[in-house]
Structure 1
Amino acid sequence: MSQTKVSVNELFGINVFNDEAMQERLPKNIYKSFKKTVKECEPLDPALADVIANAMKDWAIEKGATHYCHWFQPMTGFTAEKHDSFIAPTNEGTVIMEFSGKELTQGEPDASSFPSGGLRATFEARGYTAWDCTSPVFIKEDGENTTLYIPCAFCSYTGEALDKKTPLLRSMEALNKHAMRVLRALGNTTSKRVGATLGSEQEYFLIDRKFVEKRIDLVMAGRTLFGSPSPKGQEMDDHYFGSLDERVATYMNRLNIELWKLGVSAKTQHNEVSPAQYEMAPVFSSINLSSDQNQLTMEAMKKVAKRCGFECLLHEKPFAGVNGSGKHNNWSLCTDDGINLLDPGSTPHENMVFLIFLCSVVRAVDKYAKLLRASVASAGNDHRLGANEAPPAIVSVFLGDQLNEIFTTLAKGPATSCKEGGKIKLGVTTLPELPKDTTDRNRTSPFAFTGNKFEFRMVGSSQSVSGPNFVLNTIVAEVLSEIADKLESSDDKIKAAGEFLQKISKENGKIVFNGDNYSQDWVTEAEKRTLPNMRKSVEALNTITEPAFVDVFEKHGVLSKGELKARQEIMLENYATTIAIEAKATINIAKRQILPAVVKYSLNLAQTVNGVTSSGSDASVYKEMLDEISSETKKLKSAITALEKSLTAAEEKECTAESAECFCNGVIPSMDKVRMSADKLETLVDAAQWPLPTYAEMLFLK
């Protein structure tokens, strides 16, 4: 039966060893013990592991799997996997299919070739993967290969985290610990755990592969290093939420099927602002599961795109002059018994639990704004942040009219009222009145409250969400621990809570801004408020190891000073390496494609000038064209030479931080000058002779 004819109910989660599969295949006592382990975050009993592993093996083999792999998230920002078959030889020269509890729970991939930021020397190769039983195992089909995937954490021989999942799991524990302290102090005796939930909106571009195959920059760097603007871009506002192209709709359908099979609840899909730009969004789930599923989503997007003749671009700014792509990080806090701690209810001014958790987030963002900015720092995101379609590099919080009124009032004492929502009357009798939210949305804010969650809009489209979210979890846990200390030491909890809310309103109100974050007025105002404005990632990354940031991570057991320093080193090195690849691709394309095309066209023009002149006619127009091209070609050649020199200077720096600075302040400006001349020449050279597919072709032809 065709996949498209199978109902979604039948399709959803068929490749996941989920609760339904476990109930069917595990003995009842094993199932109950395992569920208790997961729910209460207890250590896994080794006796359970053998039984569970055997059930997983049988399930996977029935689905055609021959191998299993420990699937983890090293500091590359991508995922990694080492495959082993289920076969085990027998004395009779045959094989049997085996899979033990030890093979399920622990693996040993080589750790020496993954980024470690100095935590491990090259000769110290041993690393371990450990099964994260809070994220279900799944089957993945890659061509004719079917494998059982086991989500894992990844650590060194000496116990340091070498991945993005481990600090996320640690931060979840810290957040739960201090959120529960606050709830208990405020009288909640029923909830047992607090966890963060996450929904990641994923933006992306789809470009016909025939164009990508002719663009080394897209192949090597994921973005266009050259390209004159298309005559039409996004200025007509006709692509956003527009009708889907049939070929794109087919891609989206096939993507949904792949994701649904993996248990990813892909829900929303639509055209985004820029031509050839789209978005998908899943339903919320626990932060750890959602992070894993976003990695699967990005991988599936690229694989399905190739099957459909597209290339999926996840770079934050693949095309200059049109919108870039982000990954809006919708984060909230929920208890195990279903209470959303960021749900204001109908009377938020009277909801002490809501106000405490809301204001805790505001205080955390204010105190650790630089750390949040560093958590989304990358070479790609620098092109997007601060552009006229994305949040600026200045971190601020949007609360909306109702909550802002309450927050401001708290500085003077308890809030006694709040703004009502009301109704929207459309003036047409056949249309219903619409319930009106108490506040409008602010799509320019980098950190906006949106009903019952916060939307962190600075996260880059290609980025793993684990990094920004373990930072967010940790800094909120820190403020909650501060509040819990105050409440636990006070006889009058409500009075103490009110005093702390007043303190937050007075001390941290500068981070709250409800206006237009894109305006220059806000940049000026933010400077008056002493809010950091770090436009460049290198500047943000250099702040990671400030004493206050080291202290907060060490206090909550999320990262040691050495682990944090290693991450800083890796991110700076990644930044420098990314720019180096872009610079080398720029030089390659400019020297081997653009210059030869320009020289060839110049020769044709010169021959035309000579021919027209020898015929006795006026060749001045052709001569002007040749002179203009010759002048710009000279600028291009000079810019290429300057870029080569700046690249060499940057690569000669031995210190990673100094190298990154050199790439940022030397190489990038040199690349920009090469592009400026090349893009000018694109507008002058015969289109038939220009070697690169144009913006107009890539953005509009499917």
Structure 2
Amino acid sequence: MARLRFKALEALSMRKKVEFKLPSLKISDYFGQNAFGVPQMRSALAPEVFEKVVHVSHGKRVDKDTADAVAAAVKTWAMNRGVTHYTHWFQPLTGATAEKHDTFFDSTKGIEEFKGSALVQQEPDASSFPSGGIRSTFEARGYTAWDPSSPIFIWDTTLCIPTIFVSFTGEALDYKAPLLKAIEAIDRASTKVCRLFDRAVANVTPTLGWEQEYFVVDRALYNARPDLVMCGRTVFGHNPARGQQLDDHYFGTIPTRVQEFMKEFEVEAHKLGIPIRTRHNEVAPSQFEAAPMFEEANVATDHNQLLRDIMDRVAFKHDLKVLLHEKPFAGVNGNGKHNNWSLMTDTGVNLLQPTSSARENLLFLTFFVVSIKAVYEHADLLRASIASFGNDFRLGANEAPPAIISVFIGQTLSNVLDELEKNGNVKIEKGDNLYMKLGIDQIPEIIMDNTDRNRTSPFAFTGNKFEFRAVGSESNVSNPMMVLNLIVADQLNKFYSEVTKLTNKGKDRRLAIIEILRKYIKESKSIRFEGDGYSEAWVKEAEKRGLSNVRDTPRALDFYLSDKSTQLFSSNKILNEKEVKARHEIMIENYIKKAQIDSRVMGDLALNHIIPTAIAYQNKLIQNAKGLKELGVDNKEIISYIEEISQHISALRKNVNEMIEERKKINKIDDSRKRAIAYCDDIRHKYFDKIRYSVDKLELFIDDEDWPLVKYRELLFLK
């Protein structure tokens, strides 16, 4: 094993920078060339077909003739670019993407053919994808169905058609289908509320701009770490003398090899229409971030999944490896995926954009306050939406928000809400200026720079959007975005009903809106927090406020099954009870499997690599001690080293063997939820840190040339 480490280091020393030549100095020359987006559709389709396709996301269906016309145009466009195969590209509940490639060539006819029926629907084998009990193993049939609201694209010489994935009996087996339903729900609800202010609004689209954090390490060093290969994280590794404590990596100069890799994956992303805009060094050594311009939420989630594949494939060409695990290295910052969310009307108004106009700000305040109220009502479900085995290592650490869901809005907007709450109960006479009487026109102009950032807040308002900071970097953002859009849609519907009830009784519409907003501000006050989310004082304060602080995934996932959550899903026709229970079961099983893998890798490395190395090195010291004794030299220091190594070896062997026995008992538990909790409490929390402590201490004692695992200083600082 130690030989493998030094071979990897030797390979790294021989690396040469892979030069990447930009196809053009202007991104506009190639942006979107591999995506069948709006410009391509407009030029390739008849005007009436184009209109049907671009409006399909607003509740219209694609008929057979339209599908045939699109299929013919797409085939011609793809084949002109050397494409021979197509696939339905979908997002099963594994968290990754899936595809099955078919050729355009029909051997019975001797021609290339692509019909509308093949575009619209395929029948992949559904038996081996997670279903949570919806489907038995022998019931293999599942369907993928085209999502016209997300652009078809070419990736790796294959035509990829974004689709939903459902079972033979119609239940969703993917992340996209519920997200699309939630997007439709918030469109309908937001449009109703907008029309209280502006009758010209016809639809509202949720937008998303994600920020993807990731680590980059040399591929040879990665391959020499079995834990990185199997778990995506280092289960062992002592912190180097220098980590991130100098704060010199954040926004620092990007290493040359990494920058060439970035250039290439950005070009590939731009060709696919992914509007990557930002690249920079993150806080931890070897950590970086990519961020695009905001897009429609559905397209943005597809693009995030696609970018992960692009990054991995391009990294291979540069002899690098991208790490997306939420906590690949102990002692330095982990990876998050900040989700910047807003709502945009078809008239071009960002509903979460404050203005200097009191009249326009009432519309902003409506969506702002309703969003906060939605988070207050469903904070537990929002917490469940970001729960995962990997994110448990990150949440609540010094680089990530705590598991307590709260909302940060900044002092300026806090003052606005306080003012509205205090002055909202007014009477107006004909000709009165409502906004003046409310004090709204006296509130200082609200602009983006007036809202500070709070990196400890899981859900923060950042000027013209909410930033959901608690999402894990490895997660498919569809799930938290589905929940967020759903809870806001549900609250908007309730808001509209409450306002309508008051106006039907003759109350002025503006006063009715103010009355309900004041009510929501009072009711949701406990979810607002402006302080340090890392502090113990906040933990105590949150408990007083009645806010949940569920720190581990198995228990957080329980929130999916609450009566409140299942009612929310079913009443809005997003997921039925069967689908909700299935997803809970899948996530619980995923937690168990990842805990099993991590514990097995820890046991294997400890018993088969670390302990033998430690014993061999200990024997060297014993021989040296004997030799020194024969020479009459004092050898107390060597003896103390031998004793300490022996203590760590004994503790390591004891804890690993106990963990293995505990795992055997846990695996006999039939109830999957109880089994997951047992893995959490009796394996991860009880043994992971103990075992790691002994291994990391041994790393300090054993000669560097004998240590079998690539060290943190090599992984994080050598490029």
TM tier, smaller = over 0.9
CA distance in 2: counterparts of 1:467 and 1:459, whole angstroms: 10
1:623 to 620, 639, 648: 639
Aligned-pair CA distance for 1:62: 1.0
Q: Mean alpha-carbon deviation: is it higher for 486-495 or for 347-356? A: 347-356
SS at match of 2:305: helix
2:699 to 646, 659, 682: 682
Alignment match, 2:231: 221
Alignment match, 2:669: 653
2:47 to 3, 28, 33: 28
CA contact (8 A) 1:350 1:416 kept: no
Aligned-pair CA distance for 1:90: 3.4
1:121 aligns with 2:140: no
Q: Mean alpha-carbon deviation: is it higher for 404-413 or for 477-486? A: 404-413
CA distance in 2: counterparts of 1:87 and 1:517, whole angstroms: 58
CA contact (8 A) 2:340 2:465 kept: yes
Aligned-pair CA distance for 1:528: 1.1
1:638 to 654, 657, 665: 654
Structure 1: give runs of 5+ residues left out of the alignment.
423-434
SS at match of 1:110: coil
1:579 to 580, 591, 595: 595
- 1:374-523 aligned at under 5 Å gives the runs 374-414=384-424, 415-417=438-440, 420=444, 437-489=449-501, 490=503, 491=506, 492-523=508-539
Alignment match, 1:60: 78
Aligned-pair CA distance for 1:649: 1.9
Give per-residue Cα distances to partners, 1:48-81, cap 9 Å, x unaligned. Answer: 1011101111111111111000000000011000
Give per-residue Cα distances to partners, 1:494-549, cap 9 Å, x unaligned. Answer: 12111111111111111011111111111111111111111111111112110011
2:178 to 167, 177, 181: 167
- 1:197-596 aligned at under 5 Å gives the runs 197-347=207-357, 351-414=361-424, 415-417=438-440, 420=444, 437-489=449-501, 490=503, 491=506, 492-596=508-612
CA distance in 1: counterparts of 2:643 and 2:65, whole angstroms: 81
Structure 2: give runs of 5+ residues left out of the alignment.
1-19, 425-437
1:673 aligns with 2:673: no
SS at match of 1:325: coil
Amino acid at match of 2:158: T
CA distance in 2: counterparts of 1:32 and 1:526, whole angstroms: 51
SS at match of 1:543: helix
Aligned-pair CA distance for 1:183: 1.6
- Residues 589 and 518 of structure 1: CA distance in aligned 2, closer, same or farther (over 3 Å): same
Equivalent residues, number: 681
- Residues 533 and 70 of structure 1: CA distance in aligned 2, closer, same or farther (over 3 Å): same
Alignment match, 1:432: none
1:7 aligns with 2:26: yes
CA contact (8 A) 1:12 1:262 kept: yes
Alignment match, 2:146: 131
Aligned-pair CA distance for 1:421: 6.4
CA distance in 2: counterparts of 1:349 and 1:671, whole angstroms: 57
1:98 aligns with 2:113: yes
Give per-residue Cα distances to partners, 1:547-574, cap 9 Å, x unaligned. Answer: 0110111111111111111111111110
1:697 aligns with 2:707: no
- Name the TM-score, length of structure 1 as normaliser: 0.95
Amino acid at match of 1:118: G
CA distance in 1: counterparts of 2:411 and 2:158, whole angstroms: 51
CA contact (8 A) 1:228 1:694 kept: yes
Give per-residue Cα distances to partners, 1:166-198, cap 9 Å, x unaligned. Answer: 0000001111111111122x2321111111000
Give per-residue Cα distances to partners, 1:585-625, cap 9 Å, x unaligned. Answer: 11111111111111110111111111111222222221111
CA contact (8 A) 2:281 2:288 kept: yes
- Residues 349 and 593 of structure 1: CA distance in aligned 2, closer, same or farther (over 3 Å): farther
Give per-residue Cα distances to partners, 1:258-295, cap 9 Å, x unaligned. Answer: 10011100000100000000001000000000000000
CA distance in 2: counterparts of 1:620 and 1:378, whole angstroms: 49
SS at match of 2:423: coil
CA contact (8 A) 1:68 1:86 kept: yes
CA distance in 2: counterparts of 1:350 and 1:105, whole angstroms: 42
Alignment match, 1:429: none
CA RMSD of aligned residues (A): 1.5
1:157 aligns with 2:180: no
CA distance in 2: counterparts of 1:585 and 1:157, whole angstroms: 38
SS at match of 2:164: strand
- Residues 152 and 436 of structure 1: CA distance in aligned 2, closer, same or farther (over 3 Å): closer
SS at match of 2:497: helix
Amino acid at match of 2:474: S
CA contact (8 A) 2:448 2:463 kept: no
SS at match of 2:634: coil
1:78 aligns with 2:96: yes
Amino acid at match of 2:143: Y
CA contact (8 A) 2:407 2:461 kept: yes
Alignment match, 1:603: 619
Give per-residue Cα distances to partners, 1:608-646, cap 9 Å, x unaligned. Answer: 111111222222221111111111111111011111112
CA distance in 1: counterparts of 2:318 and 2:152, whole angstroms: 28
CA distance in 1: counterparts of 2:98 and 2:357, whole angstroms: 47
- Residues 225 and 348 of structure 1: CA distance in aligned 2, closer, same or farther (over 3 Å): farther
CA distance in 2: counterparts of 1:235 and 1:169, whole angstroms: 43
Give per-residue Cα distances to partners, 1:98-127, cap 9 Å, x unaligned. Answer: 000000000100111000111111111110
CA distance in 1: counterparts of 2:46 and 2:490, whole angstroms: 41
Alignment match, 1:430: none
SS at match of 1:316: coil
Aligned-pair CA distance for 1:5: 3.5
Give per-residue Cα distances to partners, 1:121-159, cap 9 Å, x unaligned. Answer: 111111000000000100001xxxx11000000001111
SS at match of 2:165: strand
CA distance in 2: counterparts of 1:555 and 1:255, whole angstroms: 42
Q: Mean alpha-carbon deviation: is it higher for 402-411 or for 531-540? A: 402-411
CA contact (8 A) 2:448 2:464 kept: no
CA contact (8 A) 2:340 2:467 kept: yes
CA distance in 2: counterparts of 1:55 and 1:2, whole angstroms: 32
CA contact (8 A) 1:349 1:355 kept: no
CA distance in 2: counterparts of 1:137 and 1:317, whole angstroms: 33
Aligned-pair CA distance for 1:6: 5.8
SS at match of 2:277: strand
CA contact (8 A) 1:53 1:104 kept: yes
- Identity over aligned residues, as a percent? 46
Alignment match, 2:192: 181
CA distance in 1: counterparts of 2:176 and 2:51, whole angstroms: 26
Aligned-pair CA distance for 1:89: 1.9
Aligned-pair CA distance for 1:445: 1.0
CA distance in 2: counterparts of 1:552 and 1:13, whole angstroms: 38
CA contact (8 A) 2:52 2:62 kept: no
Aligned-pair CA distance for 1:160: 0.4
CA contact (8 A) 1:413 1:502 kept: no
CA contact (8 A) 2:450 2:463 kept: no
CA distance in 1: counterparts of 2:444 and 2:510, whole angstroms: 25
